[in-house]
Amino acid sequence: MNFSITEENYIKAIYHLQQVDENVTTNELAAELNTKAASVTDMLKKLKAKKLVNYEKYQGFRLSTEGKKIALGVIRKHRLWEFFLVEKLQFGWDEVHEVAEELEHITSKKLIEKLDAFLEYPKFDPHGDPIPDSHGRMAAQKQINLLDLPVNEPAEIVSVGSQSTELLELLKHKNLGIGTTIEVKKRFAFDHSMEVKMKGQSAFIISQQLAQALFVRTI
Amino acid sequence: MNFSITEENYIKAIYHLQQVDENVTTNELAAELNTKAASVTDMLKKLKAKKLVNYEKYQGFRLSTEGKKIALGVIRKHRLWEFFLVEKLQFGWDEVHEVAEELEHITSKKLIEKLDAFLEYPKFDPHGDPIPDSHGRMAAQKQINLLDLPVNEPAEIVSVGSQSTELLELLKHKNLGIGTTIEVKKRFAFDHSMEVKMKGQSAFIISQQLAQALFVRTI
DNA sequence: GGTAATTTTTAGATTTGTCTAAATCTTATT
DNA sequence: AATAAGATTTAGACAAATCTAAAAATTACC
């Protein structure tokens, strides 16, 4: 079956919200999609009729098995295109999100399989997120939040918590990115800020908000 | 300004019809787009309001200068993507049209410039049609119809007159394609069929309809 | 030049996705 | 357990793009 771009965007958004909390609410989804609760209710009826969500009035909702499959398909396309944009077209990793939001809705199955082969079956996208394979399977990222990284343990940044331009701009400014090696030197309980250090550079302070958006793997 | 996918498809279709006859009619366009004359009239009012067509009720219409610019932009994207699909993703040249119909509507300007660079600024797409540059300029194809090719003059196929799957299937069957060298051996006035020959193969017959769909350049 | 045939446009309806405002349900509080 | 606050749904409207059927304009023809 085929789905509209809007339907795909709803499904993808529900998938992302489910990562945090299995049961998704109307207001949460409206906020995620910059739309109104009433519009969400309308769309949920459609998605329920298509058996993509399990939804009971006033009770919240979650994706059905079929819905998850659709979500993973869209995410696969999104992340493969991001990889293509960065690795082949020399885009910066902080400027590919919007373009991939459009490319992910191209329908050809053959296209995405051939693109995957052309890119030599990458496992992670430029933001460090795993790319689902054609069956929806993806590598588990055993990553922890920078807030939870013990002091003096070098770790590699593997993923960022959001794709907002504001965050990406800040990361660029501080020269932080996927693959950067970083170490926590000191924590300040008052505001949860922390002093961190990159190899060969002097230490600097990052805020709680920023630390929370960064995921690392110890090395 | 930004245009909807539907608007872009109308503009592109008008552009193509104008190649044959400068003044385009409502019915022609409806046939080209597989829609109804009433829908065309509605859209023409919109395009006129946006100053993309010169249109007077009942009088037919043509693209404005601005409209032509939009059309060339869409055609540029379409042909660049076709080139990408064939050269990089190993698609057959007869299976790229539908996919490119979707890709041509991706809006990022930066994407298309980077794609152009990645492909090393190709001048012709896999069907032999010239690719407009970022200013809308394209190489003129001094090509003639196979129907008009003199007997015993070897020529190279540079373009096909339509992208219909029926035509492409026939070409594949006969092993004809862009770049094929061909020579007319004999013409039959009765049905305008002709005997042609490819280097190292025995001659065979092609119909008027097929010959009409092939454009060649003598060598 | 008047009528017939054809083309084009208008009028009114439909579908998809959205909105605001009002109604209804759930949850939190006392 | 009653009420207030908050979340969710319904009702009714709107814009984009489409359709069918009917009206209007153009063109073709005798």
Residue type, B213: A
- The partner residue sitting opposite B89, judged by closest CB among A89, A98, A115, is A115
Mean local confidence (pLDDT), B12-29: 94
B142-176 confidence digits (pLDDT tens): 678 898 888 888 898 988 877 788 888 898 898 89
Q: What is the pLDDT of residue A82?
A: 96
How far off is chain B from A89, nearest CA to CA, in Å? 6
Closest by CA to A58, choosing from A83, A82, A31, A23, is A23
How far off is chain B from A124, nearest CA to CA, in Å? 20
Q: What is the pLDDT of residue B123?
A: 87
B32-66 confidence digits (pLDDT tens): 999 999 999 999 999 999 999 999 999 999 999 99
Q: What is the pLDDT of residue B70?
A: 97
Closest residue of chain A to B119, computed from CA coordinates = A89
Report how far residue A148's alpha carbon sits from residue A128's, in angstroms, rounded to the nearest whole number. Answer: 18
CB contact under 8 A, B106 and A99: yes
Name the residue with tokens 């249109």: B55
- Residues forming a β-bridge with A196: A184, A204
Which nucleotides of strand C come closer than 7 angstroms to any CB of the protein? Answer: 7-12, 16-22, 25-26
CB contact under 8 A, A103 and B98: no
Residue type, A5: I
Q: For chain A, which residues score pLDDT lower than 70?
A: 141-142
B88-144 confidence digits (pLDDT tens): 999 987 799 999 999 999 999 999 999 999 999 998 888 878 999 999 999 877 678
The answer, for A151 touching chain B at a CB cutoff of 8 Å, is no
List, as ranges, residues 79-98 from A with C-beta within 8 Å of B: 85, 88-91, 95, 98
Checking if the pLDDT of B1 tops 80, the result is no
| CA B28 / C1′ C1 distance in Å | 30
Q: What is the pLDDT of residue A81?
A: 98
The answer, for A119 touching chain B at a CB cutoff of 8 Å, is no
Q: What is the pLDDT of residue B194?
A: 94
Q: How many CB atoms lie within 10 A of CB A86?
A: 19
Q: What is the pLDDT of residue A217?
A: 86
Q: What is the pLDDT of residue A20?
A: 84
Q: What is the pLDDT of residue B189?
A: 86
Closest residue of chain B to A120, computed from CA coordinates = B89
DSSP assignment string, chain A: ----HHHHHHHHHHHHHHHH-SSB-HHHHHHHTTS-HHHHHHHHHHHHHTTSEEE-TTS-EEE-HHHHHHHHHHHHHHHHHHHHHHHTT---TTS-HHHHHHHTT---HHHHHHHHHHTT--SB-TTSPBPP-TTS-------EEGGGPPBT--EEEEEES---HHHHHHHHHHT--TT-EEEEEEEETTTTEEEEEETTS--EEE-HHHHHTEEEEE-
Q: List strand residue ranges (DSSP E) for B27-126, in order.
A: 53-55, 61-63
Q: What is the pLDDT of residue A101?
A: 96
Name the residue with tokens 């989804």: A29
CB contact under 8 A, B103 and A106: yes
Query: Which parts of the protein come within 7 Å of strand C, by CB position?
Result: A 4, 6-7, 35-36, 38-39, 42-43, 46, 58; B 25-28, 37-38, 40-42, 44-45, 55, 57-60
Residue type, B200: G
Chain A CB contacts of B103 under 8 Å are 106
| CA B128 / C1′ C5 distance in Å | 42
Closest residue of chain B to A108, computed from CA coordinates = B99
Q: What is the pLDDT of residue B3?
A: 95
A14-56 confidence digits (pLDDT tens): 999 998 899 999 999 999 999 999 999 999 999 999 999 999 9
Q: What is the pLDDT of residue B44?
A: 97
Query: Which positions 36-55 on chain A have a beta carbon less than 7 angstroms from any atom of strand D?
Result: 37-38, 40-42, 44-45, 55
Q: What is the pLDDT of residue A100?
A: 97
Q: Is the dihedral of CA B13, B19, B25, B30 positive or negative?
A: negative
How far off is chain B from A46, nearest CA to CA, in Å? 24
Q: What is the pLDDT of residue B71?
A: 97
